[in-house]
Structure 1
Amino acid sequence: MDLDKLVFNVAAFVAGLFVLEFGADKFVDHTATVARRLGVSQTLVALLTAGAEWEELAVVIAAVAQKKPSLALGNVIGSTVSNILGAFSLGLLFTSRPITFDRSSRVYSALLLVLTTAVVPILWFAKGPTANKIAGALLVAAFVLYAVSVGVAIYKGALAPPEGSDSDSADSDSEDGDDGVSDRSRDSENPRPAHPNGHAPTETSALLPPPKHPHSRPRPHPRSLVYHILQLALGFAALSLSGYILSHTAIAITTSLHLSGTVFGITILSFATTLPEKLVAVVSARRGYGGIVVANTAGSNVFLLTLCLGVVGLSGGEGMAGGVVPFELAVTWVSAALFCAIVYGNLGRWAGAALLAAYVAFIVLEFTLFRRQGGRY
């Protein structure tokens, strides 16, 4: 083993994660802003920004472009498991009060279970370039159908929109102050007297400029549409660059450690790329937003199992038969089943602790009992 080469690739992998997060923030924030400026439906904006795994898609496309479908497949499967056993479990553990999941949460969790039940057999039986391309096309079509149907349901009020996203930063063209509260609302909460001594203004005092509100701040000027389009392009470029860096360094690390690309993608790569989801789950749960935790988890996994997995299938070659084993498929389905059961049963912290323990056991088994080289046992 070349230790210097391994250390360099690990450092480059970590740097790629920072570029990935930067690109995802830029892309999500400015996609939403550009869509609003152009009058695109808010429902579509919610579906594009909340739970959409654009960073995972960037890694998948980069891995497929480098003829490493096993790494792409491992990242998809590992991220699917990590979103439930890792991120959702942390949300349950760090909740500030008992979570009561609403009807929309139950619909999202049931939808994810149905989708996972349909995808698992495809992952096992779709072998060969032709079968992979057919399966990939069906999964991409399923994503389009999902986006349209959920968008219509949200528009009609049958479902709550999937709030929360990979980026929680404020919109850069907000007309409010820096802290998100407008000066007008501050004035309504703290009305200033007509005169410093509390009396009505005299003729002389009326000519003087009104006293400055102690909390008032200058309102930022809205940015132009061209600015947001350029920022969106910058985010897309950063996503593409990070996908290239992460896939290249992941291949080098797996070669140095004599691991298969699937194992690395399922464990280390998927854990690292789902860190934003874990942060969103913890913050949302601490604020008592159980619906956001569920929508973020379910929306992310639907995106992974349809669009991202569809891209892997359309690449042909090994495609979706690129090294997955029954153990990983079983964990993928059981995770979705437990997620649905917890939402329907309104289970709390103990369920989160059980899921987190299961995730640790899954990672340990991947590196020990189910460790493979070159995609085999």
Structure 2
Amino acid sequence: MLSILTLIAGLVVLVFAGDYLVRGAVGLAEKLSIDPLIIGLTIVAFGTSAPELFVSLQAAFDGVSGIALGNVVGSNIANVLLVLGAPAMLMSVNCRESGIGTSLAVMIGITLTLMVMMWLGPLGRLDGAILLVMMGAYLAWQIKAARQCGAGNVPDYHDEVADLPQQTWKTTAFIIGGLIGLPIGAWLTVDGASHIARMLGASETAIGLTIVAIGTSLPELVTSVMAAWRKSGAVAIGNVVGSNIFNIGLILGGTSVILPIDVDPRIVSIDMWVMLAVSLLVVALAHWNVPIKKLGGMAMLLIFAAYILSVF
């Protein structure tokens, strides 16, 4: 029971600490008059990935690579089947999004690159460096493409980050609080998840692929469901694509540059193929502009439930 409470507490701290860090960092960036395009594509994107990054780093430092790798692979699966499937039960999810073709290609490319790396063995510093370079190239392309489209096409990050602190002391407090809270939340999450794995006789990889992955995907899930509930538009498919690229490029890339990550044979034989399959599903939905309606959302949720059961 204590392990479950520890895990829940860790995930709650991660969500709030990540939110405060993003709001503080964006508030500071605005005070420094940083280009809104840079804020939206880098600071907000990196900040929203901070909980997953700290969890993976903590897991790697604790020697439980299964949680570090399972967190990313499981999150990419959950981002498609859960984050797109759940809001479709309330409102049709539109899969048409202009200019998403290159992002889809990058998502498939970086996914296949990771699969080859996992097939060859542990993820080392060279692997991490390659993933980070791919991530950097993707960001550079995004910034260049957005600038070529003109100021009117710059994404408004205020839809994603609300209630920015105005006073300097509050901005500083948000940033410091986020930076303190994230490692604490990551430590609680990894510690609780590790104990639950031992208690259930399951592997750390299984816990990383399921409980931890779903937990770190909760902010995206809640945002998409609430948007559908308010009839204000379902989650943009581009957010899912971008999140999956960041998970591999930033989180796994950054973690493996610092510490090598062992690869569980189960991930090579099963889970990475599921990750590829759901990524190709996103490509198909976007390419043929197939909206995800209630029946499709139900199917995605049932497939996700079957996958979770298969992990155990």
Alignment TM-score, normalising by the size of structure 2 = 0.89
Shift of 1:167: 5.7
Q: Counterpart of 2:163 in structure 1: which amino acid?
A: A
Kept in 2: contact 1:115–1:302 (CA 8 A)? yes
- Give the direction of change, closer, same or farther, for the CA distance of 1:156–1:81 in structure 2 (3 Å limit): same
- Give the direction of change, closer, same or farther, for the CA distance of 1:165–1:114 in structure 2 (3 Å limit): farther
Give 1:364's match in structure 2, choosing from 291, 309, 312: 309
Listed one character per residue, the Cα deviations across residues 238-268 of structure 1 (whole Å, up to 9, x for unaligned) are 1111011111111111112111111100011
User: Is 1:31 matched with 2:25?
Assistant: yes
Report the aligned-residue RMSD.
2.4
Shift of 1:58: 1.1
Q: Structure 2: how far apart are the matches of 1:268 and 1:66?
A: 18
Q: Structure 1: how far apart are the matches of 2:101 and 2:288?
A: 10
Listed one character per residue, the Cα deviations across residues 44-67 of structure 1 (whole Å, up to 9, x for unaligned) are 211221484111011111111212
Kept in 2: contact 1:24–1:55 (CA 8 A)? yes
Q: Structure 1: how far apart are the matches of 2:202 and 2:262?
A: 19
Kept in 1: contact 2:79–2:244 (CA 8 A)? yes
Kept in 1: contact 2:110–2:134 (CA 8 A)? no
Listed one character per residue, the Cα deviations across residues 152-201 of structure 1 (whole Å, up to 9, x for unaligned) are 2122228955666996432233xxxxxxxxxxxxxxxxxxxxxxxxxxxx
User: Is 1:301 matched with 2:244?
Assistant: yes
Say which one has the larger Rg: 1
Q: Structure 2: how far apart are the matches of 1:165 and 1:227?
A: 18
Q: Counterpart of 1:147 in structure 2: which amino acid?
A: L
Kept in 2: contact 1:113–1:336 (CA 8 A)? yes
Q: Counterpart of 1:34 in structure 2: which amino acid?
A: L
Q: Structure 2: how far apart are the matches of 1:100 and 1:75?
A: 26
Kept in 2: contact 1:136–1:310 (CA 8 A)? yes
Give 2:207's match in structure 1, choosing from 259, 264, 281: 264
Q: Structure 2: how far apart are the matches of 1:263 and 1:238?
A: 26
Shift of 1:306: 0.6
Shift of 1:229: 2.2
Kept in 2: contact 1:162–1:299 (CA 8 A)? no
Shift of 1:84: 0.7
Kept in 2: contact 1:165–1:280 (CA 8 A)? no
User: Is 1:44 matched with 2:44?
Assistant: no
Q: Which residue of 2 aligns with 1:254?
A: 197
SS in 1 for 2:149: coil
Alignment TM-score, normalising by the size of structure 1 = 0.74
Segments ≥4 residues shifted beyond 4 Å: 158-168
Q: Which residue of 2 aligns with 1:140?
A: 132
Give 2:110's match in structure 1, choosing from 96, 101, 115: 115
SS in 2 for 1:25: helix
* Pairing 1:58-73 to 2, within 5 Å after superposition: 58-73=54-69
Shift of 1:117: 2.5
Q: Which residue of 1 aligns with 2:119?
A: 124
Q: Which residue of 1 aligns with 2:148?
A: 156
Higher mean Cα deviation, 98-107 or 228-237?
98-107
Listed one character per residue, the Cα deviations across residues 34-88 of structure 1 (whole Å, up to 9, x for unaligned) are 1111121212211221484111011111111212222101111111111111101
Q: Structure 2: how far apart are the matches of 1:100 and 1:266?
A: 26
Q: Identity of counterpart residues, as a percentage?
A: 23
Q: Structure 1: how far apart are the matches of 2:173 and 2:161?
A: 20
- Give the direction of change, closer, same or farther, for the CA distance of 1:112–1:93 in structure 2 (3 Å limit): farther
Kept in 2: contact 1:163–1:296 (CA 8 A)? no
Kept in 2: contact 1:284–1:293 (CA 8 A)? no
- Give the direction of change, closer, same or farther, for the CA distance of 1:296–1:353 in structure 2 (3 Å limit): same
More helix by share: 2
Give 1:282's match in structure 2, choosing from 199, 202, 225: 225
* Pairing 1:8-19 to 2, within 5 Å after superposition: 8-19=2-13
Listed one character per residue, the Cα deviations across residues 122-165 of structure 1 (whole Å, up to 9, x for unaligned) are 2222x25xx62211111112122222221221222289556669
Listed one character per residue, the Cα deviations across residues 85-131 of structure 1 (whole Å, up to 9, x for unaligned) are 11011233322x56261213444334322322232222222x25xx6
Listed one character per residue, the Cα deviations across residues 313-361 of structure 1 (whole Å, up to 9, x for unaligned) are 22454x1524423210110000100011112222221332222221111
Give 1:170's match in structure 2, choosing from 163, 166, 170: 163
Give the length in aligned residue pairs.
305
Q: Structure 2: how far apart are the matches of 1:122 and 1:100?
A: 30
Kept in 2: contact 1:24–1:166 (CA 8 A)? no
Kept in 1: contact 2:124–2:256 (CA 8 A)? yes
Q: Structure 1: how far apart are the matches of 2:238 and 2:67?
A: 27
Listed as ranges, the gaps of 5+ residues in structure 2 are: none
- Give the direction of change, closer, same or farther, for the CA distance of 1:92–1:112 in structure 2 (3 Å limit): farther
Q: Counterpart of 1:68 in structure 2: which amino acid?
A: V
